[in-house]
Amino acid sequence: MKKKKILIIFGHSHKGGLCNEITDEYEKGARKSGAEIKRINIGDLKFDPILYDGYRRIQKLEPDLIQSQKDIKWANHIVLVYPVWWASMPALLKGFFDRVFLPGFAFHFKGVIRWDRLLKGRTAELLISMGAAKIYYKLTGSLSEKVMKNIFHFCGIKIKRTAIFDLAQNMNSRKKEKFLKKAYKLGKNN
């Protein structure tokens, strides 16, 4: 069996708090499983997140985005950890996808309704934290997850699992420990 090459994308601009701890625990578990690991911390990257002209003219990629593309190509499994802000992902993370998942890298149009999925063969999982209760997330349509599923599907990446870490704002230490154990276990059993 081919050794798992996991790219962990920490999709929060701040390296503190629950999302970072979930990311760290997942990474520890994945390392314990013997997988090769690379990690992108979105908040550490130097890039302009705005796609000024859409895809009419591709902006020159900054070095951090070129490296991110190399890391994505290297990986056979991508783990995305991020918080839900206003029913979606943080703007910086969306800007990362706008700038990195470009035509010719992530997809190639072959006509009006046909395209090549250039990142096919990869799997992914989403680890999503939120202040709201999981039931609210499900009732409101889980927009954040739908957006990521659409982005990854369009490029050929199959999401195999989504883990929700809810009520993150005011959790007690016991619940936090439960979340961190869950993240470690997900990494170890990737």
Please report, for the domain that includes residue 155, its CATH number.
3.40.50.360
Find tokens 């706008």 and name the residue.
Answer: 98
What's the first-to-final CA gap in the chain, in angstroms?
14
Task: Quote the domain boundaries for residue 141.
Answer: 5-188
Q: What is the pLDDT of residue 141?
A: 63
pLDDT of residue 112: 79
Q: Report the alpha-carbon distance of residue 90 to residue 19 in Å, rounded.
A: 12
Global confidence as pTM: 0.94
Number of domains in the chain: 1
pLDDT number for residue 106: 97
Q: Tell me, what's the pLDDT at 144?
A: 82
What is the mean pLDDT, run by run of 10 residues, along the chain of 190 residues? 90 90 98 97 97 89 98 98 91 96 94 91 96 80 85 97 89 93 96
Bin 156: left if φ > 0, else alpha if -120 < ψ < 50, else beta: left
